[in-house]
Structure 1
């Protein structure tokens, strides 16, 4: 029975690690931010095209980053 408790603890810690990795992945490096800005100026809101230039990033991540950073709330 004690073995089962330990295995569930490992699952919990693995889940916590995945959550922290997911939240840190949402952060963009300075190089990524610069590339996103340059690409946006060239191609506009073609998020999938921009994401294709940044390994490991999805169009949705880039669009969320852009709207959260440069959105005008009027």
Structure 2
């Protein structure tokens, strides 16, 4: 019984490690994207302020999404 508890605990711990090794693709809904665009036009690159308006999103996620989607290197 103790062996089965340890094996299931190891499986739970292995999955998050696998996810951190791969670069997850950021998926934002249409509503989130529209809000990011509106907020960016209002406050600029204040990612933490924008993230505060979108529950569950971090400033880093939003900045990474913005730079990958709307890069200004022309």
Structure-1-length-normalised TM-score: 0.70
Q: Report the Cα offset of residue 30 of structure 1.
A: 1.2
Q: Report the Cα offset of residue 27 of structure 1.
A: 1.4
Counterpart in the other structure of 1:68: 68
Aligned Cα root-mean-square deviation (Å): 3.0
Provide Cα deviations, 1:23-46, integer angstroms capped at 9, x if missing partner: 36x311111111101111111111
Provide Cα deviations, 1:32-68, integer angstroms capped at 9, x if missing partner: 1111011111111111100000011111110010001
Q: Report the Cα offset of residue 13 of structure 1.
A: 5.6
May I ask how many residue pairs the two structures share in their alignment? Answer: 69
Instruction: Give matches, 1:1-74, under 5 Å.
Output: 3=3, 7=7, 11-12=10-11, 14-16=13-15, 18=16, 19=19, 23=24, 26-74=26-74
Structure 1, unmatched stretches of 5+, are none
Structure 1 consecutive aligned stretches of length 4 or more whose deviation exceeds 6 Å: none
Bigger helix fraction: 1
2-structure distance, mates of 1:70, 1:12: 38
Structure 2, unmatched stretches of 5+, are none
